[in-house]
Structure 1
Amino acid sequence: MHSTQINLEEPIRMASILEPSKPSFFPAMTKIVGTLGPKSRSVEVISECLKSGMSVARFDFSWGDAEYHQETLENLKIAIKTTKKLCAVMLDTVGPELQIVNNSQHPISLEADSFVVLTPYQDQKTTSKLLPINFQGLSKVVQKGDTIFIGQYLFTGSENTSVWMEVAEVKGEEVICIIKNSATLAKSLCTIHVSQVRVDLPTLTDKDKEVLSSWGTRNNVDFISLSYTRGAEDVCRVREYVSSLGNLRQARIFAKIENIEGLNHFDGILKEADGIILCRGHLGVDLPPEKVSMFSFITNVAVT
C-alpha cells in the first residue's frame, strides 16, 4: 500500500470528499459529518473521529466566536496530519435564529404557571422573570394564545431543559408569557421557536456575512450550511455573495430546512442547492413528529 503525503500548507479543495469513491477503492456509500463542539475539539478526540470515518467537520457559528472555532480548526489540521485522513470543513451559519441573550451566563430556572417577559432590550439583566431576546419584531408577529418554544430541539415533554410557553399579552415591544412546564435553561445556546410564524430577518445575516468574508475565506471552507433556508432565492443570494469572495466561489451550499416555510418551497430549494439538510429537531416543533419522519423518508436527503 502506497502512503499518501498531505501538505496542509497548500489550498486543498475538499468538496469532492462527498463524491462516490473510485471503483479501485472500497465504496464508502455513507459519508459522516461531525460537529466539533466543546467535548469534541481536542486533537485526540478529533483524531478518533477521523479514524472512525468522519469525512466533514462542521463548525457551528450559532455559538462560539471566530477565535474559538479557529483553535478547533487548528486542532483538526493537526489530527489530519497525524492520522493521514482527509476531512472537509463545513461552516454552519446562524441565519434568522431567535435566541435568548443570557448576559448573566448562569442557568435560568423557569417555574410552571408563572409569568415571564420576552424583551427585545438586550442590555436588560436575564432573570427567571425577564428574558432578553435578539429580535425586535416578536411582538408584531405573535398574539395572545400563540405558543412559544425555548430550547434546542424537538420537545417531548419529559425533559426539563426546554420549555413551552403561551402568549398571555403583547405589551408594546414586549411579550408576556405564561410558562407551561418547569425547566432550567442551562445550555450556552437557547433558541426560540414560534410555530409557523415567519421571522422577518434575512437568511444570511450581517453576522453571517462577516464570518464568511473573514473566517470562511481565510480557511477556504469547503461547504456552507445555510441555516433556516426558506426559499430558492435564499440559496441564490448566498451563492452570489460567496462568488464575490474569491476562494469561496467553489464552496458547495447545503440548504438547511428547519421550518414549514422551507418545506413548502422544497422543490425550488432542491434545484438551487448543492445539498439539503432536514433539521428534524426544529421541524418537530412546526410539525407532528411522525410527519417529519415521513418527509425525511420520502425525500431521502441528509437529516440531522
Structure 2
Amino acid sequence: MQKQTKIVGTISNLRLDRDFLSGLIRAGVNVLRLNTAHQSPQELAEAVDTIRAVDDRVAILVDTKGPEIRVSSGGEPVEATVGRPIHLKGDPEGLSGGDRLYVNLPGFGARVPLGASILIDDGELELVVTAKDGETLTCFPQSDGLIKLRKSVNIPSVPFDLPSVSERDREFIRVASEKGVEFIAHSFVRCAEDVLAVRRLVEQHGGVARVIAKIENQEGVDHIDRILDHAYGVMVARGDLGIEIPEERVPAVQRMILQKCIESSKPVIVATQMLHTMIENPRPTRAEISDVAGAIYGETDAVMLSGETAYGKYPEEAVGTMTRIASEVERHLRPFRDHKLQRVDYVVTETLARSTVGASVHIKPRAIIVDTLTGRTARYVAAYRGRVPIFAMCYRRSVARQLQLTYGVQPYFMEMRSSREEFLQYAVSLLLDEGQLQHRDMVMVIGGSFGPSEGATFLEISQVSKILSSRVRHER
C-alpha cells in the first residue's frame, strides 16, 4: 500500500530473524530503530550486520540514552508509602534500601529546591521535597508504590549541567559510526552544543550518520531554533516530554516543532505510544488511531513504533495499521503546502522545488524525479508536501538510505552520469523496469550540473516515451 509518511519501527536483539525483519519492511517500515538502552555495543554491531544482510535499502537509526538521571544501581528497591518520608541523595555508589534512596548524579540534592516534584519511573511515582539537610532531601511520596533500581528520575523545570554525551554513549556512537548507520537519535538534547558534540564524534570515527535531536524537556523546546541550525532532524519524544512539561502542553509543542521542521526541510518524527495497546492486542483504540492521524494531518515526515514492534505480540499488524491510517489520511491533505522555507542554502534549488510542486497540482505528473548528490534537493521538494511521488536518484547509498526518513521520497541508488541526457535516460528506464512508470506518463525532472554540486539548476517536463525516444536507451 503506497504512502507518503514514513514509519520508524523499533527492533531488539530478541527478534532479529530474516522473516521477522522482512515482514516489517513489507508491511511498511522504512527505518529500523535500535535502542542502545537495551543493548551492548557488540549486540548493536550484530544487529546492524543482520539488517544489512536482509535489506540494504532500509535505513538504520541508533538511539542513545543521552544525559539522564536514574536511581543508582546499588542496594535494593525502596517501598514508597504515603505519609512516610524518603531520604534522597545524589551518590552513584550509594546503596538504596529502607527509607534511603540514591540517584546517580553527585550533588543532586543541592540543586533541587524545596517544593519540587521528583518523578520516578516515567512519572509513575511522585516525591515532593519538603526539607533539605546539606545534599540530602526529605521527600514524601504522593502515592504508594515500589521504587526499583536504575529507574528514570525527572525533575520538571529544574535544569542540570549534565555532560552532552556519556561515556557509554561514546562507545555506541563509535560502533554505529564504524558500521555506517544512517542516523543517531540523541536523547535529551537541550541545546545546539549537544548536537554538535555527537556530530564531532561521528566525524572522528569516520561515520556518515546524521544527528536526530530528541526533544524531551523544556530546555530542548526553548532552544529548538538553535538546535535546528545544526541537527539533521528532530524526534518529538512525547514520553519524557510529557513528564518534563505539563502533559496538556505536549500537543501544542508537537505542532510547533512539526511546523518549524517542515519549513526548515528537516525530517521530523512523532514518537511514543502511538499504537501502545497493540503490544498486547491485535487492534488499536480509536484514540490511538486519531493520534496517528493527527500527526499525519500535521504533515510529519514519520511516525514511530516502539514496544509495538520491539517486543509486542502483533508487530506486523501494528505496522500495517499505521500504513493504512497514513494512506487514508494522505488522501485528504492539501496538494501543495505553499510556504517560505527557512535555513535555505541554495535559493535556486529551493525556487525550482517550490515551482515544481506548485505546478504539479495543475500538470498532474505521475512522478517528480530528482537528481540529488546530498539529498538536499529531494528534501526541499518534500518540504512543499505535494501528492506526487518523489523519486530521488542518489549517487551514494548512504544518502539513499537517509532519504528513507523524508516524507514522500522514494530513493534509488545509481552511478553518476556525465550528462543530463544520460541521467534522464537511465532514471526513467530504471523506474520503468521497477514498474513505477509507464511510457505514456508525464514526469517532472529536477537536476543539476553533474559535476561539483551547486544544487539543482534545471526543471524539465516531458512524457516518458519522448525522453526515451531522444536517444537509444542507455544500456545498464
1:134-168 residue CA offsets vs partner (Å, 9 max, x unmatched): 1113112112211100113xx4xxxxxx1000112
Structure 1 residue ranges without an equivalent (≥5)? 1-25, 156-161
Q: Would you say the 8 A contact 2:117–2:128 is kept in 1? A: yes
Give the Cα–Cα distance (whole angstroms) in 2 for the partners of residues 274 and 286 of structure 1: 24
Answer yes or no: is 1:180 the counterpart of 2:147. Answer: no
Bigger mean CA offset, 115-124 vs 39-48: 39-48
Answer yes or no: is 1:86 the counterpart of 2:86. Answer: no
- SS of match in other structure, 1:54: coil
Aligned to 2:252: 294
Bigger mean CA offset, 234-243 vs 288-297: 234-243
- SS of match in other structure, 2:74: coil
Distance 1:54 1:101, change over 3 A: farther
Aligned to 1:59: 34
- The amino acid of 1:150's aligned partner reads I
- The amino acid of 2:106's aligned partner reads Q
Give the Cα–Cα distance (whole angstroms) in 2 for the partners of residues 257 and 299 of structure 1: 9
Distance 1:49 1:101, change over 3 A: farther
Identity rate of aligned residues, in percent? 28
Structure 2 residue ranges without an equivalent (≥5)? 259-267, 272-476
TM-score normalised by structure 2 residue count:
0.50
Q: After the TM superposition, which residues 72-221 of structure 1 pair with which residues of structure 2 at under 5 Å, given as runs?
A: 72-77=47-52, 80=54, 84=55, 86-103=57-74, 108-152=78-122, 155=123, 162-185=124-147, 190-213=151-174, 215-221=175-181
| Matched residues, number | 262
- The amino acid of 1:254's aligned partner reads I
1:55-74 residue CA offsets vs partner (Å, 9 max, x unmatched): 22222223442234345445
- SS of match in other structure, 2:115: coil
Give the Cα–Cα distance (whole angstroms) in 2 for the partners of residues 164 and 180 of structure 1: 6
- The amino acid of 2:137's aligned partner reads V
Bigger mean CA offset, 288-297 vs 69-78: 69-78
Deviation (angstroms), 1:234? 2.3
Deviation (angstroms), 1:88? 1.9
Give the Cα–Cα distance (whole angstroms) in 1 for the partners of residues 191 and 220 of structure 2: 6
Q: For the aligned residues, what is the CA RMSD?
A: 2.6
Counterpart pick for 2:191 among 222, 231, 254: 231
Q: Would you say the 8 A contact 2:77–2:96 is kept in 1? A: no
Give the Cα–Cα distance (whole angstroms) in 2 for the partners of residues 175 and 38 of structure 1: 39
Distance 1:131 1:42, change over 3 A: farther
Greater relative contact order, per chain length (Cα 8 Å cut-off, separation 6+): 1
- SS of match in other structure, 2:82: coil
Higher helix share: 2
TM-score normalised by structure 1 residue count:
0.76
- The amino acid of 2:70's aligned partner reads Q
Larger Rg computed on CA atoms: 2
Answer yes or no: is 1:278 the counterpart of 2:236. Answer: yes
